[in-house]
Amino acid sequence: MADTGIIRTSGVGVGPGPVDDDAQVVRKDALRVVESPDETIVQDRLEADPCAPQRPELIMFSDVDPIGARPTVAPDPWSDLKFQANLVMALPDAAIASDAEYNIRLANPAAEALYGFVAADVVGQPVMNLIQFDADEAKDIEIKLIEEQALLQSGFWSGQVTRITSSGEELEIEASATVLRDETSAMRGVLFLSRDVTPLRRAEREAAERTEFADAVLESLPGRTCVIDSEGHVIGVNRRYRGEGPAGAGEGTGPALGDDYIEWLTETVDDHAAKDPRELRVGDYPDFRTEFATVRRRKRYWTELFAVPLSTGAAGAVITHVDITTRKQAESALTRRATHDPLTGLPNRVLLADRLAHALSRAARTKTQVGLLFCDLDGFRNVNNTFGHLAGDRLLVTIAKRLRAVCRSSDTVARVSGDEFVIILEDVEGRGEVEEVARRIIEALTEPVVLEQGSAKTGTSIGLVISSGVPRAGVRTVENLIRDADSAMYAAKEAGRARYAWFSPEMRERPRERPTFAKAITRLLNR
């Protein structure tokens, strides 16, 4: 037997049998083991009560005589506990052993490192006072395990808690508590095990985030895809196409396997596509792209369609649908902001000039007439001065609603400046029809407007112009018509307000210091 001899330090033995006279001490790595020639495990002859139960005991050997001699064993009642303590000290997890009152009796180096204390300094102190869990979590644990004696009843507890370090850092701790019992099953203490799982949990969250991100990217791809053959029949679809992906415009509404995709597409679009969908039947076409709109449940959806021939050489195509409704809505919103008044929602001077030019052109083609009403509120400045500009804005919104109410849906009601409005009446039969609209406007705007600050009363002066249009109506015609209507409105104000006046040529000769909207229109159209 290798490396046998005299050992002057402590050895360890465990077993039920008597100590053999021929027992030898063998060094194996750093552990000293007492072995017997007949392979029985050595146990010391203890000077104990003969009536005591015979059970395996942990034996500490203080001295060992030369080979062949009987070892002298010094009984040590704490040897079992010391050996267990050595095992606890070697654990990689933080281990704290307490007595039955939850006061610390032992803590290993891992516990010292995790919780930031020196074991020798904390013996006898309550466990919950030292491990520094989150206050609420610690209280919950203390109530459940100690006050309610849940640990004593079950014998085991585990969970995840948060530790707040002295620097304020939060650590995620995976912890457990196990009751230590004696031979009578009485509680002798508790073994608390814990480990810092912050890096593990962080890695798990990062992995979950990466997975979630990858899924989001996959589902965000322009993925409503189907495959058609040379006749336009659907021969394959993906999960988005079937409507199994995130809900979106048109998802799950396409033709099923075997259906005629081109026929469905032709019947579905309510706007003419940029390209004829029937071109997809050709089979040898270059890459195909178009946009079209569909209406489902009274809501319009826009789709951008990409089609490429099959790369296998077989006639057919891979078709991908991309929902561009949001983009179209954004484009529409930008266009609306450029052509509409943000306060009232009415067309602004840009859109007014465009619509007036088209109205004059149509009138010339159809031999009809266009009426133009230039309205300027009476007493609006007093409303601002009395109630404030916010109240003035609310009054303008109400005025805009009243103007739309007295006009036809085909008429254009525009706000061109602070309190100035212009109305285009198309397909009028003569002056009488224009005057009737003017009277309704005056009546509607004479009614007081109830505001939060009180009732505001205003009116309007209106200038009237009628035109049969000219071929290719252009800048000059639009400018002149608006200028003439503005001049007539000014004449109505001079005549007493709350009335209308028709334009007459002599009004052009009247000197004007007031900057006119017609000049602004001229600048706008000449840019």
For 307-347, the pLDDT digits (tens) are 878 765 667 787 888 888 888 888 888 888 889 999 999 99
Highest mean pLDDT among 181-185, 234-238, 498-502: 498-502
Strands 24-28 and 94-99: unpaired
Number of domains in the chain: 4
Please give the order of strands across the beta sheet that includes 412-415.
412-415, 420-428, 369-378, 459-467, 500-502
Residue showing tokens 């013996």:
123
Q: State both tokens at 271.
A: 């706007």
Predicted confidence band of residue 261 (pLDDT cuts 50, 70, 90): confident
350 plus 453 within the same structural domain: yes
Strand order in the sheet with 170-181: 104-107, 94-99, 187-196, 170-181, 156-164
How many of the other CB atoms lie within 10 Å of CB of 265?
23
Residue 24, pLDDT above cutoff 70: no
Are 372 and 517 in a shared domain? Answer: yes
Q: Is the pLDDT of residue 12 over 50?
A: no
pTM for the structure as a whole: 0.45
pLDDT at 183: 83
Of 3-17, 97-111, 382-396, the least confident = 3-17
Domain match, 68 and 90 both: no
Residue partners of 7: CB distance under 8 A and separation at least 6: 25, 27, 32, 61, 64
Residues 144, 245, single domain; the answer is: no
| Of the candidate ranges 233-247, 339-353, 445-459, the one whose mean pLDDT is the lowest | 233-247
| Structure confidence at residue 220 (pLDDT) | 53
381, 428: one domain: yes
Q: Is residue 463 located within the same domain as residue 406?
A: yes
Report the CATH number at residue 112: 3.30.450.20
Clarify whether residues 111 and 183 are in a common domain.
yes
Is beta strand 224-229 parallel, antiparallel or unpaired with respect to 454-456?
unpaired
> Could you say which DSSP state residue 151 is in?
H
Average pLDDT score over the chain: 75
Please write the tens of the pLDDT for every residue from 174-217. Answer: 888 888 888 888 888 888 898 999 898 889 889 888 768 744 54
Residue 70 lies in a domain: yes
Q: Is residue 457 part of a domain?
A: yes
C-beta separation of 231 from 255 below 8 A: no
User: How far, rounded to the nearest angstrom, does the alpha carbon of residue 171 sit from its chain's CA centroid?
Assistant: 27
Q: Looking at the structure, tell me whether residues 264 and 352 fall in a common domain.
A: no
Residue 209 falls inside a structural domain: no
Looking at residue 138, its pLDDT comes to 66
Does residue 446 fall inside a structural domain?
A: yes
Residue 394 sits in a domain whose CATH number is: 3.30.70.270
Highest-confidence segment of 40-49, 212-221, 396-405 = 396-405
Q: Tell whether 196 and 257 lie within a shared domain.
A: no
Residue 488 has pLDDT above 80, yes or no: yes
Residues 371 and 425: beta-carbon distance below 8 Å: yes
Look at residue 321 and tell me if it is in a domain: yes
Token pair in block for residue 12:
């360890």
Q: Give pLDDT tens digits for 132-154.
A: 666 676 666 666 666 657 677 78
Position 36 confidence tier, pLDDT thresholds 50, 70, 90: very low
Sign of the CA dihedral running 462, 467, 471, 477: negative
211 in any annotated domain: no
What pLDDT is stored for residue 20 in this prediction?
43
DSSP alpha helices (H): ranges in 269-305?
none
Q: Return the bridge partners of 163, or none.
A: 133, 171
Identify the domain containing residue 234 by its residue range.
224-328
Cα angle 195-198-201, degrees, rounded to a multiple of 5? 110
Candidates 376, 357, 375; CA nearest to 467 is 357
Other beta carbons within 10 angstroms of residue 39's beta carbon come to 6
The pLDDT > 90 percentage for the chain reads: 20
Strands 459-467 and 500-502: parallel
**More confident call, 71 vs 50:** 71
Q: Which of the four pLDDT bands, split at 50, 70 and 90, describes residue 6?
A: very low
CA dist 195 and 69 (Å) reads 47
DSSP 354-373: HHHHHHHHHHHHHT-EEEEE
Q: What is the mean pLDDT of residues 254-262?
A: 83
Q: What is the pLDDT of residue 41?
A: 37
Shared-domain flag, residues 371 and 454: yes
What's the Cα-to-Cα distance from 421 to each of 167, 346, 495, rounded to whole Å? 67, 9, 19
Q: Is residue 212 part of a domain?
A: no
Per-residue confidence (pLDDT) for residue 303, from 0 to 100: 82
Kindly give, in sequence order, each residue whose CB lies less than 8 Å from that of residue 469, ignoring residues fewer than 6 positions away: 359, 360, 361, 362, 363, 364, 368, 369, 370, 477
User: What's the pLDDT band for 30 if we cut at 50, 70, 90?
Assistant: very low
Residues 492 and 389 in one domain: yes
> Which of 77, 108, 136 is the endpoint of a domain?
77
217 contact partners, CB below 8 Å, separation of at least 6:
none
Domain check: are 470 and 418 in the same one? yes
The domain boundary, picked from 291, 307, 328, lies at 328
Instruction: Tell me what pLDDT residue 344 has.
Output: 93
pLDDT at 275: 65
Looking at the domain assignment, is residue 299 inside a domain? yes
* Residue 56 pLDDT greater than 70, yes or no: no
Residue-level pLDDT at 27 = 35
Sheet with 57-61, side-by-side order of all strands? 24-28, 31-35, 11-15, 57-61
* Residue ending a domain, choose from 13, 44, 77: 77
Asked whether residue 64 carries a pLDDT value surpassing 50, the answer given is no
441 pLDDT above the threshold of 90 = yes
Cα(369)–Cα(359) distance, integer angstroms: 9
